[in-house]
Amino acid sequence: MIIEEEIDTEDTREAENAVEEDEETEADEDAPEGMIQCLVCGEYYQAITEPHLQTHDMTIQEYREEYGEDMPLRPDDKA
């Protein structure tokens, strides 16, 4: 039983990651020019700043830990 639960959990994580990747791709394609989407609230901004993240009770470090170290905070940061 324990093995089955571990497999189910692993499959669930893989499915969640796939959905998140699809959402990020769609967000990049729909972003207004010169704007970046906050992944917490979904709103678009010229930059994801510390004062904005404080409205979500987050720091920039916590945002990057949650959404990835390479997550851009400004539109020109995109690879």
What does the pLDDT read at residue 30? 76
Q: Tell me what pLDDT residue 5 has.
A: 54
With a cut of 50, list the residues of the chain below it in pLDDT.
25, 27
Q: Which residues contact 46 (CB under 8 A, 6 or more apart)?
A: 34, 35, 36, 74, 75
Q: How far is CA 6 from the centre of its chain?
A: 25
Query: pTM for the whole thing?
Result: 0.60
CB 51 within 8 A of CB 60: no
pLDDT value at residue 25: 44
Q: Which residues contact 69 (CB under 8 A, 6 or more apart)?
A: none
The CB density around residue 24, as the number of other CB atoms within 10 Å, is 15
